[in-house]
Structures are given as C-alpha cells and as structure tokens.
C-alpha cells in the first residue's frame, strides 16, 4: 500500500488502516493507496472492507500542503480525487465499514459519509465539515453526499453552519451509526463488517444499488463535472 496505509485480511474482512503518525491527511498518495486497497480486497474475494485510522484520529481532511499551497489546479485535482474515492466507497457492491477512531474533520467526515456503516469512538472527538468556518465552499458532490447520508434536519447545520458534532450527536446527524469505547472500535468494526460479509453478496449489492441509486447518480454527475473542469 504505502507507509501510511496498510492492508490486512481478517477472515472475510479486508482491514485497511490509515496511520501517518499525525492527522492522517488525505494526500494524493493516501487516496491512491486507499484505492489500491479496495482493488486488492476485490481481487482477494473479501466479503467486506473495514477502514480505520490511528487512535484518536480517522482523518483531519485533505493534505494541507496542497490545500494551502496556492496551486489551484492541484487543489481542485486533490478534492476531485477524494470525491472519486468517496463515490467509489458509497457505490461499492461490497460492504464498506468505517471504524472512526477519533476526530473526522472536513474530508475525514466525508469519508464517513461514503462508508456504508460507521462505528465511532466515544469521547472528546469532533466530527465536522469545517469548510464554511474556514472560508471554503463545499464541492457539489460533497453536498449531494451530505444530502444522501445525513438526517434531513442536519444537512444545513452540517454543510452550511459547519456545526461540530460530538460522537453521540454524530449518530443522530447521520455521520455515525453507533459509538463504542475507543478501545472497542476495531473489534466492533470487524464484527459489523463480518456480519455484512455474511449476507448474500448479490442481494446486498442489488438492494444497495436500488436504495442508493438516485443519490449515486447525483454524486457521480457532480464528480464527473468537477473532473471535466467545469
């Protein structure tokens, strides 16, 4: 994978861990490694994927060296590459579980929205789309992902007001499905991934496509428009 992304099989589950020793920034390298991990899980015949972070942090968002570097083309490319990965997660016929090991900010929160089931660590952690607070406008695909995954009454606080959610509140909002003590995130995530992997794969994929289809069309169209440079 890469120095920051590791891959391991745990029975039917492909365990993918992001750990750069810092904020788990989603750089071009990390996004490519996550895509390669999904490729490997498919080639291995895994029944589900579990994506986790380092203790205390799932991800602090896109690589700040790029985002603050002043190269508008590189910034747009990184954001769109992230959108393509999150779309791939949400579109995946294979169950994708996220083990949110702590903070999930900006693109880290979008990573949660792309996963099918999210287990979060309880504690003094923040899950937040910070873009408004830092003077940025979310890309269209991110707004569509928020509309597809968040509770309707939380779309505006999360996407417009940059509201910071503690883990329990993030469950109500739709960023997480449940919270557990931090030491239990990995095992709870593996158990959930194993449960989903045991379901008939064709039925899971077919029903997921039906339920997620309209949202996927809107997200996919927005990502494609960004890649085309509109």
Give the CATH number of the domain where residue 104 resides.
3.90.226.10
DSSP letter for each residue of 68-97? TS--HHHHHHHHHHHHHHHHHHHH-SS-EE
Of 96, 103, 223, 95, nearest to 165 by C-alpha is 103
pLDDT per residue as tens, the chain (230 positions)? 678 999 999 999 999 999 999 999 999 999 999 999 999 999 999 999 999 999 999 999 999 999 999 999 999 999 999 999 999 999 999 999 999 999 999 999 999 999 999 999 999 999 999 999 999 999 999 999 999 999 999 999 999 999 999 999 999 999 999 999 999 999 999 999 999 999 999 999 999 999 999 999 999 999 999 999 86
Strands 117-121, 56-59: pairing kind: unpaired
Which domain covers residue 80, as residue numbers? 5-227
d(CA 94, CA 201): 7
What pTM does this model have?
0.97
Count: domains in the chain = 1
Of 88, 62, 92, nearest to 77 by C-alpha is 62
């Amino acid at each position: 994978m890469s120095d920051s992304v590791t891959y391991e099989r745990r029975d039917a589950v492909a365990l993918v861990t992001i750990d750069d020793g810092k904020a788990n920034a989603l750089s071009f390298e990390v996004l490519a490694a996550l895509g390669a991990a999904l490729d490997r899980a498919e080639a291995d015949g895994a029944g589900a994927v579990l994506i986790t972070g380092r203790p205390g942090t799932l991800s602090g968002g896109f690589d700040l060296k790029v985002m603050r570097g002043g190269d508008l083309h590189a910034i747009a490319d990184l954001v769109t590459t992230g959108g393509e990965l999150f779309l791939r997660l949400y579109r995946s016929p294979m169950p994708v579980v996220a083990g949110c090991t702590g903070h999930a900010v900006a693109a880290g929160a979008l990573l949660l929205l792309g996963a099918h089931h999210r287990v979060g660590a309880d504690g003094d952690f923040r899950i937040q789309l910070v873009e408004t607070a830092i003077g940025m406008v979310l890309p269209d695909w991110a707004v569509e992902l928020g509309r597809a995954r968040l509770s309707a009454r939380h779309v505006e606080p999360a996407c417009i007001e940059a509201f910071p959610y503690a883990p329990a509140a993030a469950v109500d909002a739709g960023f997480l499905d449940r919270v557990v003590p931090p030491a239990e995130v990995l095992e709870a995530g593996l158990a959930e991934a194993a449960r989903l992997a045991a379901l008939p794969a064709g039925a899971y994929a077919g029903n997921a496509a039906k339920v997620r289809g309209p949202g996927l069309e809107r997200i996919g169209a927005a990502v494609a428009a960004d890649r085309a440079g509109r």
